[in-house]
Amino acid sequence: MSILCDENTRLLVQGLGRMGQFHANLSLEYGTRVVGGVAPGKGGQEIGGLPVFDTVTQATKATGANASVIFVPPPGAADAILEAADAGLDLAVCITEGIPTLDMLRAKSALAGCSMRLVGPNCPGVVTPEQCRIGIMPAQITRPGPVGVVSRSGTLTYEAVDQLSRLGIGQSTCLGIGGDQIIGTTFVDALALFEADPETKAVVMIGEIGGSAEETAAEFVQSEMKTPVVAFIAGQNAPPGKRMGHAGAIIAGGKGRASDKIAALEAAGVAVSPSPATIGKTLAEHVPSLAS
């Protein structure tokens, strides 16, 4: 089992620029069922072996797609998300970095009450090992297994997955939720999905400074989860008031500090890895039944 995507996922690609095409191809090679692309004005063409449509609705009708990955540049990205929702897809994963915050605020508000799940934006995507790759992750470092991985960061997700795989611990699904201030799927949403998945036996959660999503997640772990959770918080030594790359990663007015997040998680029974190099090891120690 897995969350969000599996071998039955039928994926569309919205935005077929250089990056969209490149990653559509890698996903196809990985065995993902990429069924079509959407590029307004290019309907009827074929790009990189994919049939192209003018609208998501047309593409969905013709291909039976149920998910979409969005590579549309920032000015049109929020519109692309809402178009995916309008077409009745179950899942949209938005990779685009740099979407204006107010565009996302309005889009998120418009998605309330709609059945589509959004992952991202500004995220690396979702991989269910050996079944489905949505986005830009290097899927070759994953291996199938019982651990769910959820992270705000891209490359740090790879680091954690790599540590697990090297210890012989596989993953159910690896998911990057994105580094922006306003995102579709939150830590709590992802943790709830992993908790409901019978095959996920433990979760690795990778947070970072800024905002209060990790504290909210800690409350959820304590009150709602039986599955053990291991965490790491990046940015323990970041200076206040500076944006550390991600729009969301800023310590403002004494809030969003790593130390507060770590304390909240530990109080909720989460094993927090002190160093970024011991995420896999911390899991192996905390949940010995998973270590091979």
Nearer of residues 11 and 99 to another protein, judged by Cβ: 99
Regarding 106 and contact with another protein (CB under 8 A), the answer is yes
Please choose, out of 35-43, 61-69, 234-242, 283-291, the segment that lies near another protein by the rule CB under 8 A.
234-242
DSSP symbols for 166-211:
HTT--EEEEEE--SSSS-SS-HHHHHHHHHH-TT--EEEEEEESSS
Near another protein by CB under 8 A, which window of 7-15, 64-72, 78-86, 276-284? 276-284
Cα separation, 270 vs 290, in Å, equals: 16
Nearest Cα to Cα of residue 150 among 211, 193, 180, 212:
193
> What distance in Å separates the CA atoms of residue 5 and residue 125, rounded to the nearest whole number?
11
Q: Which residues in the 187-206 window bind another protein by CB under 8 A?
A: 206
Residue 12 backbone dihedrals phi, psi, to 5 degrees: -100, 155
Binding mask 8-47 for another protein (x = CB under 8 A): -----------x----------------------------
For position 66 contacting another protein by CB under 8 A, the verdict is no
Which among 10, 117, 201, 246 is annotated as catalytic? Answer: 246
State in angstroms the smallest separation of the CB of 137 from another protein.
Answer: 6
Rounded Cα gap, residues 132 and 45, in angstroms: 25
Active site residue 286: no
The tokens 């772990």 sit on which residue?
Answer: 221
Residue indicated by tokens 């191809």: 25
State the DSSP code for 253.
Answer: T
The smaller minimum CB distance to another protein, of residues 29 and 46, is found at 29
Residues of this chain that bind another protein (CB under 8 A): 19, 74-75, 98-103, 105-106, 108-110, 124, 136-138, 141, 151-159, 162, 179, 181-182, 206, 208-209, 211-213, 216, 232, 234-239, 241-249, 253-254, 274-278
